[in-house]
Amino acid sequence: MSSLKLTKSGRVVSNSHSVSESSKGAPKGKSAGPSQDGFWRSQADLDNTPEFQEFLAREYPEQEEQLKDPLSRRRFVQLMGASFALAGVSQGCRWEEEKIMPLSRRPDGYIPGVAKKYASAFELGGAAAGLLVTCMDGRPIKIEGNPEHPFTGGTSTAVAQASILEMYDPDRSRAVRRQEKGQGLIATRKDALAAIRALRDTAKATRGAGLHILSEATSSATIAALRQEIQAAMPGVKWHEYEPLSTDEQREGNRMAFGSPHRTHYRLDRADVIASFDAELFGNNPAALRHSKDFATGRNPDTGKQNRVYAIESAYSLTGAVADHRLPVRSELIKPLLLGLEQALTGGDVASVGAAILAEPKAHTFITELAKDLAKNRGRGVVAVGSQQPAEVHAIAARINATLRNHNATVLYTAEADAQRPRHLDDLKSLVATMQSGKVAGLLIIGGNPAYNAPTDLDFVGALAKVKSSVHLSMYDDETSKHTNWHINRAHYLEAWGDSRSYDGTVTLAQPMVEPLYDGMSAIGVLKILAGHDDDSNQDVVRRTLLAVAGSDLADDKAWRRLLHDGFIPGSAPRPAAVAPKQFAATPLSDSQKIGSSLPNGKLEVVFRESATYDGRYANNSWLLETPDFMTKLTWDNAALIGPATAKSLGVSNGELAKITVGEATLKIVVHVSPGQAPGSIALPLGWGRSRAGHVGGHEDFKVAAPGFNTYALRTSSGFNFTGGATVKGTGSNYPLAETQDHFAMDELGADEVKKRVNTHIKTGTLKEYNDLKKPGAKGQADLVTRDAHLEIEKKLIRPIEGREINVSLYDEHEYKGHKWGMSIDLGKCTGCNACSVACQAENNIPVVGKKEVMNNREMHWIRIDRYFKGNPNDPEMAFLPVHCQQCEGAPCEVVCPVEATSHSKEGLNDMTYNRCVGTRYCANNCPYKVRRFNFKYWNKDFEVARNKVRSLLSNPDVTVRSRGVMEKCTWCVQRIERTKIDAKNNRRAIVDGEIQTACQQACPTQAIHFGDLADKESVVYKNQELPRAYALLASLNNSPRNAFLARITNPNEALAPAKEHKDH
Amino acid sequence: MSSAETSAEALEAREYFKGISDSVCGIVEAEKAPKIWLPAFAAAVGLTGVLVVSLYILLTEGTGIWGNNNTEAWAWPIVNFVFWVGIGHAGTLISAVLFLMRQKWRTSINRAAEAMTIFAVICAGLFPVIHTGRPWLAYWLLPIPNDMAIWPQFRSPLAWDVFAVSTYMTVSILFWYMGLVPDFATLRDRTKSKLKHTIYGILSLGWRGSARQWHRYERAYLIMAALATPLVFSVHSVVSFDFAVGQLPGWHTTIFPPYFVAGAIFSGFAMVLTLLVPARAIFNMKHIITDQHVENMCKVILATGSMVGFAYGTEFFIAWYSGNMYEGFTFLNRMFGPFAWAYWTMITCNVLIPQFFWFKKIRTSPFIIVGLCILVNVGMWFERFVIIVTSLTRSFMPGSWHYFSPTMYDASIFIGSFGLFFTLFLLFLRFMPMIAMFEVKGASPHAHAGVKHH
């Protein structure tokens, strides 16, 4: 103990203050002390000895209160989980004596090792997704969509899947910190409460004037109620909201079109023609899950319902990837094109718009044909506009949708509740102006990271210095926290009660799964204190608010329990509003909007867009950083995306560092030459190059270089979403990029071969061809053929000896008495969104390997999405092929394993016996699909570092954590299959089709993946495999995969479709 | 024929035999090794040290220190394995096959060639073991009875490999040791040191050189040769199955067994020449390992090199003739793809270089021979690299194509294996009779001096 020289509450640490970081000097081998990780290990830790009290006060001032409390049973169960996982963790003293205490009686409803699922909600940018969170022994381990949620349903996005990793992020802030004379001082939670109360007390004197609250976008009814409470008591309190990726332009556009702000809802399931103008319907969109589901409903060539998607966009979006027709144009040209469309629809002269782009043949035909198609499908079309487009463009689209009688049919509007709220950007501008004037006495920042992501011209950090007292509630001690007087560590959404609305307005409850790991406070808690409440507990206030919204009595326990179970309030979404379009004056086209598709250097357009880190908030989330971008297949970096022709004219090459100058600012960033990127337009993904994200996303204090480049450096309030006048200058030096797939710039020999193979690996065909194929006796033509014909074609690829049957096996056929698992993947529905990949990572304890190892081609994802291009690189067609283990019937991997570590199960799976594997890797060589992943190093080594121990709590106990030297691969979530089988057997029932869902299938927003029993002729998967468009990948190899791909059926407009080459295979 | 004549011949023969014993045993008996031996040995031990350090890092860090990855799950270590197994072919071929074919010229080179075989197989055997992800469990490939009743999978060529290589190793050692017994006895009888007398005494297994012993010895040697002969062909055939049984285009071909065996003999002879041409100069053995021997070996290299070249051609022809799209591409990719440099290195070294041995002038110039032989082995290493790595880099799924780059450890372990090889070989040269004395004597005309053809 003598080595501890710490002051009572003001221990000096240089801005880093995670407990484990700062307690290196702790004594070794002292059995009475708690572990150095801020976790409990033994009951002895909790003994109320005077030494311990003293130790507590010195070592864990922020937890003193809580530690002295008698232990609640609930807390104890949670701690037990942690204790087991952490047993044996200590600094240096291996044989430290520890005591653990068993539960003398099992708590109600708790069965060790049995997973429980709770409803919760994930909020991003003010829109919620309903979740079901799987908890194992008191720790959440997996996130899934809440199938009962009326809007978001049972699927989930990659970001939502990965958000659970954030909770266990060891880099999360673990303490309150106050800033004094440029130094961060660890403070207690008590101090934090006092600081918030001080804000309140100061503001009270002026009836709130001078107190400002800057919040990230939230749709929480509880927060709204607390805000009202605060503003009722102190009317001068100003509330601001800011999101760097905002959907406010749409809101303002509807204000222009209808007089008051409205939210636009697209009902893609009802649409036959979807025209996306720079809109990302399936990716970064608050309604992405719903859009995906509806899109898939409308894209079912087997029932005959097949929508048609047109995408007009600058950078590839998921929408563009699945579109039947795509027109790459600069984002600023969306407005003239939309005006042209309006002219074409109303019988006017397209040329009257006065934009050169409309005179270009491709764009002209595209717009006129689109107009014809939309006109043909009145009331069954959608004209969607992307959130980065200015308000005016949204207003024009609303006008077009009205003209097309799409209103109330495929395009719905709901009134925004907070009609008075200014645009996020304007709101932030006015706040910064007030801050600069010195009139802000107190500033409470809830979430967000404006010091990092505010437009550079606002100089948020500079303005912050003029605020007398600033408090930042944040999960990370980030760029903003560095400059505020107080940093309060925030609880993760899985650690606190809360609520938010999904995009349609359904009130969704967020339940905590564990007590805060690092004792963080929630936004609701902080606002409660600010409102004058005594404590920051948040269940009561959430309960009060939500029961009020639901119209139930506060005392109605049944209603509350129902809410806890369901996770949402049914019918709480507002009804669509009747809107009447009104006249508005459109601004004239700018000079650059009149220029056609090519632009000279110096006038180039830059477009800011979301990335794997969303807006930068997930920059420390290794799952997301290592997930390859759907288009570039780039991991661990962002890059300036430049089209091939533009790159050539600029003289920059792929992987070259280039200087991009916009106005005053210049950014050095690596160039990624991206097929399909619009000429003259450069896409800049936001959210990288953080200086205070953590050990993964870069941190100045830990001397960890940030991955990627901070593109916010070029973002100003006048060029917030996109702007022109950019200059690109190559530097000639190269930067290493970790791409998981070779990009198109390959030697000619290889590129030609890829072209040849893509057509056999990814079957595509038009709806017309497919309908022909469905006729009896048809074999199909071109790329779309029946399964048997496909096999014939495949056989020709390997040209067997004339008259000799190739599909004969040396070995006996497998016999199946029970189940016979199979899968189908519909390529027509795959948007490439990566949700499956991240869900698989979470379910199967798949490690992250880091940029260097991705460059070494050792990424571990069990399901990868291969992305191929066809045609002209400047305007290509893109296709996805999600590949995981195909569970071959005659698996080539099985026969070559010398120790039989991979073998065929009685139900047709290719099992992996990890503890039998010696790692010869022969199986990986012999797998034609290349789905096997080898642990070349001990990828989980990081778990053993004391500060990262918390990460191991996330592991799924049903899946082995693989050691070094072992081969692994997809097993179709065999643990889920077994769990269901056990349950069915115990209850003497049959397994229902669709009951077992693999993690990838469950997450897939378009439900392109189906899993089931092929022995059951009624199962969806059996029926899918019998479809004429079903085919096996590399069928000629006679591996008989148990997964069937369903050919991608497109629905091109014949007037636009290029003459299809009919190749003879 | 007069008895005087006979005794004169016998005298001459005795002198000749003594000369052979003196020059061969002299190396072992000499107080000091030739000047060049010690620095060479130091260098070899140094390289072995590199191997040991690299292996330590390998065992602590994992196979991730190499360039292997998910696309190229096998790379340098397996290339090295096949390379060393190939080299380990010449010895048994010279000893057994040439013995059965009554090629008497083999006698002066078979001992060293056999030793080289064993050392090469030791180096080869190292790689499959350290190549596994968990080498401490590599023994699971052996059919060891266990209470779980788990056996290796006999369908896997890797399991066949274990048997093929270990059998070859065992038989090679037995054969080699058997040949050494009479020579150990010679050393025992000549030495004046008590310690050496004891050691060589034990090693010579009580050899007295009686007619009965010689009779049984010759029978046993013949049987061993007959047993070893099929192994020469089986080992590399089985090694080639590792690839031929696989589904991968570029591996999946029926030509592999003969093609691999020819390649192995080719590289083995090149290695024998690389080692023996300098050795005979250093240890003054030119009268035993004559120019005729060297020339014969050059001819074998020329013949096998041409066979290998023919195999390359056949492979290509079949890739085109079969019409198999995947295989066709693999071969085009070898020639013109990103690894074309490796392919053309292979063609140059393996097909073009041996053609120089058509010229007697070259077959008799020791420096050129050694240079060409080294190039042949460079080519043979690249042959395995081309087969293994190039095929893997671009297999069926273009999405998983990748360019392979080795790491420092790939190189250090490969170079280190040469250290191990040379350490063992230099120890052999210094402490064991590098030439089968009794066989050379037996094969010399003097041995038949008394038996004139009438």
Establish if A592 belongs to a structural domain.
no
**What is Dmax (Cα atoms) for chain A?**
96
Establish if A169 belongs to a structural domain.
no
Mutate to test the interface with B, among A746, A923, A926, A962 (most CBs of B within 10 A): A926
Beta-carbon neighbour count of residue A786 at 10 Å? 20
- Judgement on whether residues A435 and A404 belong to the same structural domain of the protein: no
Establish if A194 belongs to a structural domain.
yes
Establish if A760 belongs to a structural domain.
yes
List pLDDT tens digits, range A338-365: 999 999 998 888 888 888 888 888 999 9
Mutate to test the interface with A, among B400, B407, B409, B410 (most CBs of A within 10 A): B400
- Judgement on whether residues A261 and A405 belong to the same structural domain of the protein: yes
- Looking at the complex, does the CB of residue B70 fall below 8 Å from at least one CB of chain A? yes
3-state secondary structure A291-353: HHHHHHHCEECCCCEECEEEEEECCCCHHHHHCCEEEECCHHHHHHHHHHHHHHHCCCCHHHH
- Judgement on whether residues A349 and A461 belong to the same structural domain of the protein: no
Cβ separation A749–B158 shorter than 8 A: no
CATH number at residue A409: 3.40.228.10
Cβ separation A926–B248 shorter than 8 A: yes
pLDDT score of B284: 80
* Cα distances (angstroms) measured from residue A477 to each of A173, A198, B50: 6, 22, 47
Establish if A666 belongs to a structural domain.
yes
Which letter does DSSP use for residue A517 in this model?
Answer: T
Q: Name the pLDDT band for A431 (thresholds 50, 70, 90).
A: very high
List pLDDT tens digits, range A629-642: 999 999 999 999 99
CATH number at residue A726: 2.40.40.20
Task: Share the mean pLDDT of chain A.
Answer: 85
- Judgement on whether residues A948 and A1004 belong to the same structural domain of the protein: yes
| Partner A, chain B 236-275, Cβ-Cβ below 8 Å | 242, 245-248
Kindly give, in sequence order, each residue whose CB lies less than 8 Å from that of residue B48, ignoring residues fewer than 6 positions away: B416, B419, B420, B423
pLDDT score of B32: 81
Establish if A881 belongs to a structural domain.
yes
Q: What number is the average pLDDT over the span B2-18?
A: 66
Q: Which of A304-313, A761-770, A855-864 has the lowest mean pLDDT?
A: A761-770
Establish if A763 belongs to a structural domain.
yes
Length of chain A in terms of residues written? 1065
| Partner B, chain A 941-980, Cβ-Cβ below 8 Å | 963-967
List pLDDT tens digits, range B379-414: 999 999 999 999 999 999 998 998 899 999 999 999
- Judgement on whether residues A379 and A453 belong to the same structural domain of the protein: no
Choosing from A70, A89, A112, the residue where a domain stops is: A112
Check whether A849 has a pLDDT greater than 60: yes
pLDDT score of A104: 79
- Judgement on whether residues A239 and A328 belong to the same structural domain of the protein: no
- Judgement on whether residues A851 and A952 belong to the same structural domain of the protein: yes
Choosing from A351, A380, A415, the residue where a domain stops is: A415
Structure tokens at A883: 């590949």
CB-CB contact of A930 with B69 (8 Å): no
- Judgement on whether residues A402 and A491 belong to the same structural domain of the protein: no
Mark A439-448 as b/e (b = at least 16 C-beta within 10 Å). Answer: ebbbbbbbbb
- Looking at the complex, does the CB of residue B340 fall below 8 Å from at least one CB of chain A? no
Q: Which residue has the tokens 């990838």?
A: A1000
Helix and strand totals (H; E) in chain B? 18, 0
Cβ separation B246–A753 shorter than 8 A: no
Q: Which residue has the tokens 């450069």?
A: A682
List pLDDT tens digits, range A279-297: 999 988 999 999 999 999 9
List pLDDT tens digits, range A235-275: 999 999 999 999 999 999 999 999 889 999 999 999 999 99
CB-CB contact of A911 with A974 (8 Å): yes
Query: What residues in A contact B151, CB-CB < 8 Å?
Result: 900
Check whether A803 has a pLDDT greater than 50: yes
Q: Is the ipTM of this complex over 0.95?
A: no
Q: Name the pLDDT band for B5 (thresholds 50, 70, 90).
A: low
Establish if A502 belongs to a structural domain.
no
* Cα distances (angstroms) measured from residue B265 to each of B257, B362, B378: 12, 20, 15
Q: Which of A60-69, A101-110, A770-779, A871-880 has the lowest mean pLDDT?
A: A60-69
- Judgement on whether residues A713 and A760 belong to the same structural domain of the protein: no
Task: State the residue range of the domain holding A428.
Answer: 176-245+423-497+507-547
Query: What residues in B contact A742, CB-CB < 8 Å?
Result: 398, 401-402
List pLDDT tens digits, range A933-981: 999 999 988 888 888 888 888 999 999 999 999 999 999 999 999 999 9
Mutate to test the interface with B, among A748, A900, A940 (most CBs of B within 10 A): A900
Domain ranges of chain B: 33-448
Helix and strand totals (H; E) in chain A? 34, 45
- Looking at the complex, does the CB of residue B88 fall below 8 Å from at least one CB of chain A? no
Question: Closest Cα of chain A to B36: distance in Å?
Answer: 41
pLDDT score of A787: 64
Query: What residues in B contact A898, CB-CB < 8 Å?
Result: 141, 152-153, 156, 158-159, 162
Count of domains in chain A?
5
Check whether A736 has a pLDDT greater than 70: yes
| Partner B, chain A 886-915, Cβ-Cβ below 8 Å | 892, 895-900
The Cα A662–Cα A622 span in angstroms is 31
Choosing from A350, A381, A415, the residue where a domain stops is: A415
List pLDDT tens digits, range A969-1017: 999 999 999 999 999 999 999 999 999 999 999 999 999 999 999 999 9
Name the residue with higher pLDDT: A33 or A742: A742
- Looking at the complex, does the CB of residue A418 fall below 8 Å from at least one CB of chain B? no
The Cα A107–Cα A84 span in angstroms is 17
The Cα A93–Cα B390 span in angstroms is 50
- Judgement on whether residues A95 and A232 belong to the same structural domain of the protein: no
- Judgement on whether residues A761 and A619 belong to the same structural domain of the protein: no
Q: What number is the average pLDDT over the span A402-420?
A: 90
Query: What residues in A contact B74, CB-CB < 8 Å?
Result: 921-922, 925
CATH number at residue A869: 3.30.70.20
Q: Which residue from B68, B246, B325 is facing A926, i.e. has the nearest CB? A: B246
Name the residue with higher pLDDT: B146 or A160: A160
Q: Which residue has the tokens 């969607």?
A: A384
- Looking at the complex, does the CB of residue B56 fall below 8 Å from at least one CB of chain A? no
Name the residue with higher pLDDT: B110 or A38: B110
Work out how many CB contacts closer than 8 A connect A with B. 187
The Cα B93–Cα B300 span in angstroms is 11
- Looking at the complex, does the CB of residue B304 fall below 8 Å from at least one CB of chain A? no
- Judgement on whether residues A46 and A70 belong to the same structural domain of the protein: yes
